[in-house]
A and B are shown apart, each in its own frame.
Chain A
Amino acid sequence: MPIDHLDLTIDEFRDLTGWEIKPEGACRDERCVPLPATAATSDGRVDVTAVAERLGMPIAHDEQHGLWAVGPESGGRRVLDDVDMPDLVLPDFDGNTFDFATLRGRKVALIAWASW
């Protein structure tokens, strides 16, 4: 979801990116990345630009609508950096949510298609 300002609370940043901001840096799963001193604003909010740059997450901007979108970690890596199926919850055609994790214990072929 795009954001309309580049200083977020720690909770907002976690919800947006999955990264927890802790004293030791930005942490996700068992990985922590040290952050520059500029990563936190004077009132304790997260400077999204500084943290995203440190994590290799590009930012796209729409000036007319005052929106920014933060891309995935990029550079020197592949789409999959491990083989554990990520959390995935999607709606069905009736609007009910389906959690991929409920299929644990079965082989799953996930086939993506499109109307186009």
Chain B
Amino acid sequence: MTVALDTDIEAARPFHEAANPTHPSLVDPALVLVEMFGMTNAPFGIWVDESGTVVRPAEVAFAPRQPSATNDAQDTEAIIAQLPPKQREIVEAMTANMSDSDRYAAAMRDWAAKGAASEFVLSSNEVIERSRPRPPEFGLAAAHFELAQHLHRAGFARDAVEHFQEAHRLDPTNWSYHREALSLVDPSWGQVYERDMLSEVAEVGAETFYPPLDM
């Protein structure tokens, strides 16, 4: 199943319609999955077995690149290649693990075929240990993010910004919070966040953007 982490369902709808999925395709406008499982970016995935047990915690879950997307990928690579060296270095570091998608899909197929015997199924202790820590500042970030989303929906979008900022300050490696916040900025506002996305990634650490698969 797939779940769109989007406050605004209409922002996600064109992708849903283009994909025309036959599996359950849902929306998570409150981004509860971010707090529930520690999905700090997208795409992230979890595996749940037949008994309702989580057998892999949240991790980067890119799909294998489709042949039809090759041109888009080449276009993206061409754009990246034209960036100034410093920016290119950041983008390449933050997207380094995107090319690992075949391995994730292969592991998923192995699990589908072998079930609990799959080498990729983790023990309960491993699932818990690999799930994201939640120190008090991350919990407070979640509360600020909730306030921000509420204010945005209630029509106080500019007032929401300070809480989106605070959520990001408290939980800087949670890129789901920050990317969602940036997606809600009205271009007419001008610059409301101190740094642009690439500068932010460089400051926090590009390796936190898509952490490498541990499988």
Contacts and interface: CB of A to CB of B under 8 A. Distances in A.
Contacts of B115: 107
Contacts of B138: 74
Interface in A73-99: 73-86, 88, 90-93, 98
Nearest to B138: A74
Interface residues of B, number: 81
Interface in B29-52: 29, 32-33, 35-39, 42-52
A59 interface: yes
A71 B140 contact: yes
A80 B127 contact: yes
B97 to A, nearest CB: 16
B139 A73 contact: yes
Contact of A59 (B16, B33, B143): B143
Nearest to B122: A83
Contact of B9 (A65, A77, A93): A93
Contact of B136 (A62, A74, A103, A105): A74
A113 B5 CA distance: 6
Interface of A: 1-2, 56-60, 62, 64-65, 67-86, 88, 90-93, 98, 100-101, 103-116
Interface of B: 1-6, 8-9, 11-17, 24-29, 32-33, 35-39, 42-55, 57-58, 61, 63, 108, 111-112, 115, 124, 127-129, 131-144, 146-147, 150-151, 156, 159, 163, 166, 176, 179-180, 182-183
